[in-house]
Each structure stands twice: as C-alpha cells, then as structure tokens.
Amino acid sequence: MANVAVIGAQWGDEGKGKVVDWLASRADLVVRFQGGHNAGHTLVVGEQTYKLSLLPSGLVRGKMGIIGNGVVIDPEALLAEIARVTAQGLNVSPATLRIADNATLILPLHSAIDRARESARGERKIGTTGRGIGPAYEDKVARRAIRVADLAEPQTLSDKLDELLLHHNTLLAGLGAETFEKQGLLDRLLELAPLILPYAEPVWERLDEARRAGKRILFEGAQAVMLDVDHGTYPFVTSSNTVSATAASGSGMGPSSVGFVLGIAKAYTTRVGSGPFPTELFDETGKLLGARGHEFGTVTGRPRRCGWFDAVMVRQAVKVGGVQGLVLTKLDVLDGLPELQICVGYRIGGEIYRRFPAAPGAQAAAEPIYETIEGWRDSTRGARSWADLPAQAIKYVRRIEELVEAPVTLVSTSPERDDTILVRDPFEG
C-alpha cells in the first residue's frame, strides 16, 4: 500500500482539511511537513466544526498526528489550539501528537518584525498574516533559530536570544517599532518548556519504524503550489516550499516514502491577500461564488477573492508539484450557473502564454483566455457517485482533466466528510 501526500494545487484554501480528514480513516499517521499557523484547515464533522492551523487534521479521526521539522511552531499558538480542540472533545496528548525536536520556534519578536515590515511596505504589501512565519524561516536559514530541543537547555536559550535580539532589535528600531528585552522572552520560554517538551522527539525515527512496519502515512501540506517560495507567484508567496518533495525533507524521510501525490483544487479559483489573479471576478458572479462557497480565510477571516477555474495555473502546479491525481472540491458551488469559463491561456503584451510567468510585471499583466462550457441546472450537492452528477457536470470535470493533464481521483460535493465521489483510492498507489 502506498503512502499519500496531499498538497494544494492553487493558492490555498482548496479544502485540503476535509480531504485529509476523509483519507485519514485509511491512514495510521498524519504528518504536517511545512508552514506554520498561517495555514488553516476547516473540518466539518456532523454538527461540529474544527478549525486547525498547526495540528494535523488526522487527530479528528483519532489518528497519530506528527508535526515535522519543516514546520515553524509558535508554542503559544500551538498550546491555545490544543486547548480549543480539547474543549471540543478531541484527545490531544503526547500519546496522540508528536513534534519534531528539530523544528524551529516562532517567538513574539518574529510576529513583531513581520507586522512592522508589512506596515512599512505601504501600498506594496505582500498580504502576510503577520504571524512571524517568514522571519522564523529566515532565522532558520541564517542558523540562529531556537528549536524545540533547545527548550531543554536554558543556557542554549540564553545564548541564542542574545544573537536573535542583536539582529531583530536593530531591525525593529529601524522600522520605528518597539524592541524586546531578553529576560522576559527567556522567562516565558522556560515556562513553556515543560508544556512543549513532552510532545518532542526525533520524529524521523518513528516515521522510519512506521514505514518498515508497512503502516500508511498521510502527509498533509499547507498553503499550495502557487504559494511555494520558489515556484509560486513570488513575492506574493509563503516562506516555505509547498510542493510534494518537501514532504520528505520536512519530515525526515527519503523521497521514495512520499508515495501517491494528491493535488487539491476547487472547481473555481480563490485567493486570500495580495498578488496576481488573472481570472478574478469583480462582478455578481464573483460575489455569488464567494457567498455560496463561504469564502473567508480560516486563519485571517479575510474574504477570499473569487474567479473562474484557471487550468493553466493548475496544470503548472500539477507538473511542479508532482501531482498524480487531482481532487476537485466545491463542485456544488457552480450549480445553476448557465455558463462556466475555464482559463486555457494568458495574453501578455500581444503574446499567448500556456504557463504562469515568473516575472511580477508579466504576472500582473496576464489576461485570461477563456473556453466557455455549458453549466448544469440540477444540484450536485451531496453527490457520492458519478451516477448522482448531471451529465454536464461530468463533462466539466472531464474537460478539467484534459486541460491540467491529470486524472481526477476524488470529487467533493459539500463540506460534509462523506459527500465525496471516490474514483481511485490513492492508498492503492
């Protein structure tokens, strides 16, 4: 049986949480491998709605959750999230959740520098959540980060804080923001240590043992390919690699362990924050998609920008992300629309492009070239088999398969976990 990696194939918010939750019934472990608490997964289970940012979605299914070394962790946010879902009835303890001891921590100074920089950009804001994700990754690469294992060594914490404050206080002062005192940060880290360390371990060992024992591992990505720091719409991207290859490096496993790669895409397109969006709709149809799809960011609460399905972008995400099967979500949101548009290319300066350009100027200038497809009248909401779908809805799905050059493996027709059409079980490889 194959392992499975789930990644976003657009700009995030595609419904990965529901898909991971649905697949977790077939898995033994669920692993978060990149990102931070700027990601948000909403899971609807009966009357209960769980909003997760750091915790692996498999915990809702009672599966072992693992936060890998590729994740940057705000310990305050993690503990608050554990408390919130525990109050909802989930069992989150060191017996069900393990954290990589070599994962990087996010400190209050990281979010402070994040917000100060974004404010200084003025009209050129990137649209960051201001939660310190980027600055924490910067410290990781600069080799000055505080990691989970450091919480067990007070002297290490003290020495690393000296270096961090020398760097960040200089930047904060230059941006006109309040600086930080070492003692307050050190005292708080020492208070957090006994709360975080019981979860910590070299998770690569547990994952290697699980692999050798033939257990199924589900890798849960955050954000999406078009927000990848290398392959996305730079600089309007996240601060980590979101492609499937990161499932290996972000968890401590070899690339052969990643298994079958599922790319998640909505039946239309959304984006939160700033950045290019060729198929964005500013008319009543755009408002309708937002209202029907309840398009608000799980983490930020900001309304999502809505537009037609961009097959050029998803095809690129399929190629760069190593996607072997596509999951199409929120098909029901398109019910009743007389016509649908699919972007099949861009017009930039008189030339036709079949890929998303890397240069910011070209990205901003991209004008979509559309193919029109007839819509359907009958409802698709709650459909659980192809036989439940209108013929025109099936035609729409098949056309997307052709354009993005990847088979549709699952179709989601409502937020409910079981309203899913299974075409191929990804755990079968």
Omega cis (within 30) before 368: no
Bridge-based pairing state of the strands 4-8 and 217-220: parallel
231 is catalytic: no
Q: Which residue has the tokens 């880290």?
A: 189
How many of the other CB atoms lie within 10 Å of CB of 382? 12
pLDDT at position 298, please?
A: 62
Which among 13, 74, 139, 150 is annotated as catalytic?
Answer: 13
Contact assessment for residue 64 and residue 96, using Cβ atoms and an 8 Å cutoff: yes
Q: Please, what are the averages of pLDDT over each run of 10 residues along the chain (429 residues)?
A: 90 84 88 88 76 89 94 96 93 96 97 86 75 92 96 97 94 90 96 98 97 95 93 92 95 93 96 91 94 79 90 97 95 96 96 93 95 95 92 97 96 86 85
Give this prediction's pTM: 0.92
How far is it between the farthest Cα atoms of the chain? 67
101 is catalytic: no
Which among 41, 110, 168, 231 is annotated as catalytic?
Answer: 41
pLDDT at position 42, please?
A: 75
User: Please, is 211 exposed, middle or buried when counting C-beta atoms within 10 Å of its C-beta (0-12, 13-18, 19+)?
Assistant: middle
Domains of the chain: 4-101+199-260 (3.40.440.10), 104-196 (1.10.300.10), 265-428 (3.90.170.10)
Contact assessment for residue 228 and residue 268, using Cβ atoms and an 8 Å cutoff: no
Residues in Cβ contact with 325 at an 8 Å cutoff, skipping those fewer than 6 apart: 260, 261, 262, 263, 406, 407, 408, 409, 410, 424, 426
Distance CA 404, CA 7 (A): 15
Token readout for 170 is 């200089």
pLDDT at position 130, please?
A: 78
Question: Dihedral angle at the C-alpha atoms of 152, 156, 158, 159, nearest 10 degrees?
Answer: -170
pLDDT at position 122, please?
A: 76
